Amino acid sequence: MGIQVLVDDPKNLEKIRQNELDVLKERIQKILKAGANVILTKMGLDDIAAKYLVEAGAIGIRRVSNGDLSRIAKLTGATVISTMATPEGEEVFESSFLGECDEVCEEAVGDNDFIFFKGCKKTNACSIILRGANEYMIDEVEKKKKSNAGLSMTQSVFARGLWNQVE
C-alpha cells in the first residue's frame, strides 16, 4: 500500500519535499478562501499545516472522533468531507461545505479542557457535563442516563432550570 518514490539524485529529494509543501499550502488556501476559520480533522495535523493555519488566523482541531464530527456538522450545518477531489480529478472546496456558529472556544472544566461551539445556527443542542467525587459516581450516573430513568432525570434537569447552575 502507499506510494513508493525512487530518488537517484539527492537534489531531487528537496524538490519533492518542496512540491509536497506547495500542495499542502494550496489545499489550505482553498479551504480558507471558502471562508473557513476553524478546521476539524479526524486525523493528525502536520506542523507545517498548523503553521499555515496560525498565519491565516484560523484554528485547526485534530483527532476529532467520527461521532463528534457528525454531531458538530449537524449542529453547524457543515458537510463532512473526506476528500477535496472531484470525479474530474480537480481539488475544490466550496463555501457550501462550511457550517456556522457564533463562537468556538476552549474552556477548562475541572481538570480537562473542552472545545465549545456556541451560538450554532442550524440546531439547538446542549451538553450536560457531569463531575463527581470519583469514577464510581460518574459510572452510576452514566448507567442511569442510559436507562428510562435517565430520560426523566434529563427532563427534570431542564424543567427545574438546574443547567444554569453548572457554570
pLDDT band at 165 (very low <50, low <70, confident <90, very high): very low
CA distance 70 to 92: 21
Residues 149-167 have a mean pLDDT of 54
In a domain, 100, yes or no: yes
More confident residue, 7 or 18: 18
CA distance 97 to 40: 12
State whether 24 and 68 are in the same domain: yes
State whether 74 and 105 are in the same domain: yes
Domain that holds residue 154: 126-167
In a domain, 5, yes or no: no
pLDDT band at 124 (very low <50, low <70, confident <90, very high): low
State whether 95 and 143 are in the same domain: no
State residue 2's pLDDT score. 67
Cell numbers that stand for 80 in this block: 463532512
State whether 66 and 83 are in the same domain: yes
Residues 145-156 have a mean pLDDT of 62
State whether 31 and 70 are in the same domain: yes
State residue 109's pLDDT score. 82
CA distance 152 to 158: 10
Q: How far is CA 67 from CA 21, 30, 74, 125, in A?
A: 30, 26, 11, 15
- Judged against a pLDDT cut of 50, whether residue 129 lies above it is answered with yes
State residue 36's pLDDT score. 94
Q: What is the pTM of this model?
A: 0.71
State whether 112 and 134 are in the same domain: no
In a domain, 28, yes or no: yes
In a domain, 76, yes or no: yes
State whether 19 and 71 are in the same domain: yes
More confident residue, 153 or 126: 126
More confident residue, 39 or 167: 39
CATH number assigned to the domain comprising residue 89? 3.50.7.10
Residues 150-165 have a mean pLDDT of 56
φ and ψ of 109, to 5 deg: -125, 110
State whether 163 and 110 are in the same domain: no
Into how many domains does the chain fold? 2
More confident residue, 77 or 7: 77
In a domain, 44, yes or no: yes
- Judged against a pLDDT cut of 90, whether residue 38 lies above it is answered with yes
- Judged against a pLDDT cut of 90, whether residue 127 lies above it is answered with no
State whether 105 and 160 are in the same domain: no
State whether 111 and 68 are in the same domain: yes
State whether 140 and 97 are in the same domain: no
